[in-house]
Amino acid sequence: MARTKEFDPDVALRRALELFWARGYEATSITDLVAHLGIAKASIYGTFGSKQQLFERALQRYIETTDPVIMAELSQPGQVLPAVHALVERFVSEASSDSRVLGCMVVNSAVELGPHDATIARLVESSWAHLETTLTAALLRARAQGELGPDSDPRALARFLLVFFQGLRVIERTPESTARLRDAARVAVSVLR
């Protein structure tokens, strides 16, 4: 007869996500995970496979919870550019807050693991492609509504914003970054005028 789990795998995954997000993959040991999740090492392996597989699932969960928020913000009816400007402002505000030391788990994973881990690189690329597509669709709508000039290139603008947002997430992790972020945001918004 199979034993029932003495823990909630969804809660364990959320707690693993928190730890990986705070420390990164390499700096998080199985011992750290056992202590933070409050479950046995065998339970981690039995439920998630390996530390690598647990990290992949945590990153996937992070992407599944963050990407739809941006899509919802940019899919509202009405003018598009105010929503894009608000998104830029939100990113800068988050980057200037005390939680900035965590950065973005997608960007952190891209920097730490992307160059040598194909699975992580695919997850990162998938998230970035989704953001680029969401931004492109919003900017196409903005052009159709006359908010952008008829000769504007929504895909190129979306790619610019994608790079801006990801760069912002790297810069935010350094001390004294607020002035840089505010200046960059002002320029990003001016590009969309």
The CATH number that applies at residue 83 is 1.10.357.10
User: Residue 25's closest CA among 95, 111, 124?
Assistant: 111
User: Residue 112's closest CA among 157, 165, 170?
Assistant: 170
Please report whether residue 145 resides in a domain: yes
Across 47-69, b (16+ Cβ under 10 Å) vs e yields bbeebeebbbbbbebbbeeebee
Residues 6+ apart with CB under 8 A from 28: 19, 20, 51
Q: How confident is the model at residue 2 (pLDDT cuts 50, 70, 90)?
A: low
For residue 181, count other CB atoms closer than 10 A to its CB: 20
* pLDDT tens, position by position, 19-49: 999 999 999 999 999 999 999 999 999 999 9
Rg of the chain, C-alpha, whole Å = 19
* pLDDT tens, position by position, 107-156: 999 999 999 999 999 999 999 999 999 999 999 999 999 999 999 999 99
Please report whether residue 3 resides in a domain: no
Please report whether residue 26 resides in a domain: no
3-state secondary structure of 12: helix
Range of the domain at 78: 61-191
Model confidence, pTM: 0.89
Please report whether residue 178 resides in a domain: yes
Please report whether residue 65 resides in a domain: yes
Spatial distance between the Cα atoms of 135 and 131, rounded to a whole number of angstroms: 6
| Structural domain count of the chain | 1
